[in-house]
Structure 1
């Protein structure tokens, strides 16, 4: 009799986990994956457009390539179940239309105006990412809620601070000089990057500790790489770019920023893969 009860309890637990870890969590994971792709492509488009408008003509072809990546990400988002949510759909549609208009006139505007316009749409997309996470939270496990919150509220904003530093800094390097206004702007972004990295280190360290069975061992080393590359990029900006911009190669500076973003994305992808695995439950 006791064995039968234990067997029934095990079956109940399996069924309960299977019901909890349904397709909705997987769909949320896929949606925020494409949101990430849209944000990264828009950041690259912004930075490369700024570099081009400041004299780096070689950046033009890369701008068009990244615009294509933006279109692909938007198309994927529109095809996913989460797009049926009226709030999410309205925000995503507004962003899509705004980016289409912006891409048409980006090369015809003042560099500062164009950069600000792309930044505004990236901020709107970050807000959409947080809304998607919160509106789907009821379908996520405790692990999914914890890590998706860190992904939306720390990882993606950190790519944006890095992206702004990368784009604005590439423009400074292309011109070979920095104004007082640009200096203040870059220092403010450096503070945001440093602060967000500290929060990310603390948040992810706790998640890795609390849910060690959910994440691969690579998560720890990926987190360490983010910290290391953040400090290296900050040193490049503070000790070289803002002091001797004429000695900094615009493309190399841009690439180092991309390297940091890639490190953040690596942990983001590891985290998102873990959410998908968690969605499978015992199946």
Structure 2
């Protein structure tokens, strides 16, 4: 009877956690944590560089710290076991070299060109994230697969589009005017944010409903806050950036965008901790 009850308990918990430890899943969790840090630092570097090149001298004092964070994240990624994977190593090396080169000449470029170059490199990092997720999926538990999909395909891209809205918007705020091309770009970014936020909200709720015990804290509260902040930020942008006369404090606007990204990253970190804990298994 005791054996039967023990078996039932194990079966009940298997969806949330595997019976045996999963080293491959733990390695993936550690790697995507450092990869996330690289994306956040590159987003911040892009936004601050754009703000500085548009005339905001205060941004110059902050951009060097962001570049230092990029360098640290690259070093952390290179030190992890997953870096020995030939495909991942090649792609991460290419990204690192291009970022180092871009950081050297970023201040010599025109604002829109510098913004676009950093955006292109972030796209490459996101592609690397997707590669890591796909190559490691077969080694992960069902929960690990679902959670990593949300992190790679929704959380990181969502943070990126918010970063674009933050960076481009702060540059416009410094100038106090917006071009037709910038209006079109903002409209595209806003549409992407709305779509991704909706998908993230729906999918994270599904994962939580099945595996809430994997989370150490109330993840629902974080997702509700993210949704609320994003809606307010988008509405503000739609209202203020399409006026003939734009009067927005660029630093305050940038800070509000950073707050949203920080909340997304908190949810990302909480989900990644759950993936790491899940990798430990029961035995």
Query: Which position in structure 2 is the counterpart of 1:241?
Result: 241
Q: Return closer, same or farther for 1:112/1:208 CA change in 2, 3 Å cut-off.
A: same
C-alpha distance in 1 between matches for 2:113 and 2:220: 39
Is 1:119 aligned to 2:116, yes or no? no
C-alpha distance in 2 between matches for 1:235 and 1:279: 40
The answer to whether the Cα contact below 8 Å between 2:18 and 2:141 also exists between their aligned partners in 1 is no
Structure 2 residue matching 1:281: 3-state secondary structure: coil
Query: Which position in structure 2 is the counterpart of 1:207?
Result: 207
C-alpha distance in 2 between matches for 1:265 and 1:245: 34
C-alpha distance in 2 between matches for 1:145 and 1:226: 23
Q: Cα distance, 1:212 vs. partner? A: 2.1
Q: Cα distance, 1:130 vs. partner? A: 0.7
Q: Return closer, same or farther for 1:217/1:79 CA change in 2, 3 Å cut-off.
A: closer
The TM-score, its normalising length taken from structure 2, stands at 0.93
Structure 1 residue matching 2:212: 3-state secondary structure: coil
Q: Cα distance, 1:213 vs. partner? A: 1.9
Is 1:264 aligned to 2:264, yes or no? yes
Q: Cα distance, 1:260 vs. partner? A: 0.8
Further displaced range: 273-282 or 46-55? 273-282
Question: What is the 5 A alignment of 1:85-234?
Answer: 85-234=85-234
Higher RCO (CA < 8 A, seq sep 6+): 2
Structure 1 residue matching 2:213: 3-state secondary structure: coil
Q: Return closer, same or farther for 1:242/1:79 CA change in 2, 3 Å cut-off.
A: same
Tell me which stretches of 4 or more aligned residues in structure 1 moved more than 2 Å.
5-10, 16-19
Q: Return closer, same or farther for 1:23/1:244 CA change in 2, 3 Å cut-off.
A: farther
Structure 2 residue matching 1:200: 3-state secondary structure: helix
C-alpha distance in 2 between matches for 1:245 and 1:29: 47
Q: Cα distance, 1:122 vs. partner? A: 0.1
Query: Which position in structure 2 is the counterpart of 1:62?
Result: 62
The TM-score, its normalising length taken from structure 1, stands at 0.93
Query: Which position in structure 2 is the counterpart of 1:24?
Result: 24
Q: Return closer, same or farther for 1:214/1:245 CA change in 2, 3 Å cut-off.
A: farther
Unaligned segments of structure 2, at least 5 residues:
none
Q: Return closer, same or farther for 1:7/1:250 CA change in 2, 3 Å cut-off.
A: closer
The answer to whether the Cα contact below 8 Å between 2:18 and 2:279 also exists between their aligned partners in 1 is no
Structure 1 residue matching 2:214: 3-state secondary structure: coil
Q: Return closer, same or farther for 1:149/1:232 CA change in 2, 3 Å cut-off.
A: same
Unaligned segments of structure 1, at least 5 residues:
none
